[in-house]
Chain A
């Protein structure tokens, strides 16, 4: 019953191959156009004007090729999208996730990415050891781990081990503690 409800809830989010391909092609066209605009308006230094190859020569070519390619992708019929080699048949496509979204835990995937962003932003302030331990603990919790007595020491030990190997053994500097300690 609950499963049925959740699948009904997710129904509007079903994305077919056609629409995602078109949206992606459109995004690529926008990117190529934006890159092309920057390349065309790139300010060339006075002494570069007489060079056979200017800083924007290749970028302009790439932008034009990118636009042609993305327009072609936008216009080609649907059969273009799926591979048909033996390996493609077996490996399948990641599009399967969108065909039956109710079978997958999207919250966990998205949550993990958000946690990664928070981790990246906290590294400078909190230092490597604290931010990494917290990231690993919350990552495990988010994915369903409830054995705190294992999760917490494993995460803290792993953070320390990586820091020790990188900073002390390989002598690549990595600030271990929060910024505030050093001020």
Chain B
């Protein structure tokens, strides 16, 4: 394994890969800062472009850099103008923005940068420990276990969707799986469910789906409220002068960073949980642990309240790479998009990736150290300059968000039908958001669909039936875990509804 790690270090620290890691972080920070394009959209837009690089390690290093750069960038707009670009950085604004309004914007950005750096770096260390252990265990899996493992992953995504949303998340996952069966498949000879349309013969392109589901609704919702978005942030909050923190403040946030790095990472590893839950939970835990004096400051500009979500969301983003790299199962919308990139590069993430392509596996992990340093450098001295982007009027920004979303689907395909599909998915996503349906499960179901069916098909053929579900002990255990993941939250929902109706 040491040889493989050494190969990974050699690959990650070539001049070319370091350049692309830095470029990814830079692009991610800038675009992540702008409202409307969260990490998912940014990574999806970058895929067609980055694939042109050719080298899989470089492409994935670039995309990983974009991912954590976008999370990092989102925190800047949360702190300076109280406009979080996406859910994972909402908790950052609770104390970040009050600090900025007190004229401590520079200090808040420094704390956010240090917390993100520490969360990301500790997360990368934990990833190095976790990933090989899980991969060496998963190598024992056959198609049957893989199929069952995907069932667990897909049901866990629904289970962690939040109270009251389990059924909706489950429905979205099923919808994603249904959409994945459209077009040609590696198992069968004829394309399916194309409705006679030639454009659907090769299936739905996942960048089209991702852009339609996430970027189009963002542009639409921003357009509904153009003026309000533009007024965000006070004048004091935008004044970034003193970036220094003192020793006492550093000592105060150190234990928070330590705790939240581990907690955030572990939450990130769980499928479906992700950076949003990690940041909110991190904030809540630190508020409960704080002494009464400190607790009063939460929400008023507490440095602990800022460090906790910032550390946790970065550690969780790193943690979400564990199931992706070792099992080939994405736990979040962004890692689902990264899985799409792996597939486009003819790589199959999973336990065999570490054996077959150690340079890719390890170089992505090692590039995270470099990427985190780059982000620290970017966010500290350059942030006063980068933050000027926040002044771009929404009247320019919104058409550009929509344009970039459409360009992401158009580039490389030159197919206008793809764009009509994208807008169709966008309208669908807007309706679903009105009805409070979570959309990442749909994308995860869609990206996993093909692999899910392949493994199911192989397992059925090997066993000549579905008896593998109960005859193989590991498969049976995973199937039972799936049932638990689905039934327990559904039962809880049902019980709370019954309690509510009996009270009412």
| Interface of A toward B, CB cutoff 8 Å | 15, 17, 20-21, 24, 28, 31-32, 35, 38-39, 42, 45, 48, 51-53, 55-59, 62-63, 65-66, 69-70, 72-73, 76-77, 79-88, 90-91, 93-95, 97-98, 103-106, 108-109, 111-113, 116-117, 119-121, 123-124, 132, 135-136, 139-140, 143-145, 151, 154, 158, 162, 166, 170-175
Contact B87 A91 (CB under 8 A): yes
Assuming the contacts A81-B436, A87-B162, asked whether A136 and B400 have C-beta atoms less than 8 A apart, the reply is yes
Q: 20 A-B contacts, Cβ less than 8 Å apart?
A: A15-B434, A28-B171, A38-B193, A42-B192, A48-B189, A53-B457, A56-B192, A62-B174, A62-B178, A85-B277, A86-B280, A95-B436, A105-B224, A108-B226, A109-B220, A139-B403, A143-B223, A158-B400, A174-B410, A174-B414
Contact A79 B406 (CB under 8 A): no
Complexed CA–CA distance, A173 and B423 (Å): 23
Set A56, A66, A85, A170: member contacting B49, Cβ < 8 A: A170
Contact A53 B420 (CB under 8 A): no
Q: What B residues does A120 contact at CB under 8 A?
A: 406, 416, 419-420, 422-423
Q: What B residues does A162 contact at CB under 8 A?
A: 407
Q: What A residues does B137 contact at CB under 8 A?
A: none
| With A66-B178, A82-B164 already in contact, 12 other A-B pairs whose C-beta atoms are closer than 8 Å | A58-B177, A72-B167, A81-B436, A87-B276, A94-B436, A97-B224, A112-B398, A116-B419, A140-B399, A144-B227, A145-B395, A174-B414
Complexed CA–CA distance, A71 and B112 (Å): 45
Complexed CA–CA distance, A84 and B166 (Å): 12
Complexed CA–CA distance, A90 and B52 (Å): 40
The chain B residue sitting closest to A108, CB to CB, is B223
Assuming the contacts A58-B456, A90-B280, A123-B419, asked whether A97 and B500 have C-beta atoms less than 8 A apart, the reply is no
Q: What A residues does B419 contact at CB under 8 A?
A: 116, 119-120, 123
| Interface of B toward A, CB cutoff 8 Å | 48-49, 52, 87, 90-91, 162-165, 167-168, 170-171, 174-175, 177-178, 181, 185, 187-190, 192-193, 216, 219-221, 223-227, 276-277, 280-281, 284, 393-396, 398-400, 402-403, 406-407, 410-412, 414, 416, 419-420, 422-423, 426-427, 431-437, 453, 456-457, 460-461, 464-465, 493, 496-497, 500-501
Complexed CA–CA distance, A17 and B171 (Å): 18
Assuming the contacts A69-B170, A76-B497, asked whether A85 and B436 have C-beta atoms less than 8 A apart, the reply is no
Overall SS of chain B's interface: helix
Q: How far is the CB of A54 from chain B (nearest CB, A)?
A: 8
Set B193, B227, B493: member contacting A35, Cβ < 8 A: B193
Assuming the contacts A48-B189, A108-B224, A172-B412, asked whether A84 and B163 have C-beta atoms less than 8 A apart, the reply is yes
Contact A145 B396 (CB under 8 A): yes
Q: What A residues does B496 contact at CB under 8 A?
A: 79
Q: How far is the CB of A95 from chain B (nearest CB, A)?
A: 6
Contact B403 A104 (CB under 8 A): no
Q: How far is the CB of A48 from chain B (nearest CB, A)?
A: 7
Q: What B residues does A21 contact at CB under 8 A?
A: 435-436
Contact B465 A112 (CB under 8 A): no
Complexed CA–CA distance, A171 and B412 (Å): 10
Q: What A residues does B225 contact at CB under 8 A?
A: 103-105
Set A52, A121, A143: member contacting B399, Cβ < 8 A: A143
Complexed CA–CA distance, A87 and B279 (Å): 9
Complexed CA–CA distance, A132 and B402 (Å): 11
Q: What A residues does B226 contact at CB under 8 A?
A: 105, 108, 143-144
The chain A residue sitting closest to B226, CB to CB, is A143
Q: What A residues does B193 contact at CB under 8 A?
A: 35, 38-39, 59
Q: How far is the CB of A15 from chain B (nearest CB, A)?
A: 8
Assuming the contacts A20-B434, A73-B171, A97-B221, asked whether A55 and B400 have C-beta atoms less than 8 A apart, the reply is no
Complexed CA–CA distance, A174 and B193 (Å): 30
Complexed CA–CA distance, A143 and B401 (Å): 13
Q: How far is the CB of B284 from chain A (nearest CB, A)?
A: 6
Contact B170 A172 (CB under 8 A): no
Complexed CA–CA distance, A162 and B49 (Å): 11
The chain A residue sitting closest to B227, CB to CB, is A144
Assuming the contacts A70-B171, A120-B416, A136-B399, asked whether A35 and B188 have C-beta atoms less than 8 A apart, the reply is no
The chain B residue sitting closest to A150, CB to CB, is B396
Q: What A residues does B223 contact at CB under 8 A?
A: 105, 108-109, 111-112, 143
Assuming the contacts A91-B90, A98-B434, A166-B411, asked whether A135 and B403 have C-beta atoms less than 8 A apart, the reply is yes
Q: What B residues does A154 contact at CB under 8 A?
A: 396
The chain B residue sitting closest to A124, CB to CB, is B416
Assuming the contacts A108-B223, A112-B220, asked whether A139 and B423 have C-beta atoms less than 8 A apart, the reply is no
Report the 8 A-B pairs with minimum CB-CB distance, sorted nearest first.
A139-B399, A120-B419, A145-B395, A104-B224, A94-B433, A87-B280, A24-B435, A143-B395
Contact B167 A69 (CB under 8 A): yes
Complexed CA–CA distance, A109 and B416 (Å): 21
Complexed CA–CA distance, A22 and B406 (Å): 31
Assuming the contacts A66-B175, A87-B276, asked whether A172 and B48 have C-beta atoms less than 8 A apart, the reply is yes
Contact B164 A28 (CB under 8 A): no
The chain A residue sitting closest to B461, CB to CB, is A52
Complexed CA–CA distance, A31 and B411 (Å): 30
The chain A residue sitting closest to B93, CB to CB, is A90
Q: What B residues does A140 contact at CB under 8 A?
A: 395-396, 399
Contact A73 B167 (CB under 8 A): yes
Complexed CA–CA distance, A144 and B432 (Å): 28
Q: How far is the CB of B226 from chain A (nearest CB, A)?
A: 5
Complexed CA–CA distance, A90 and B89 (Å): 12
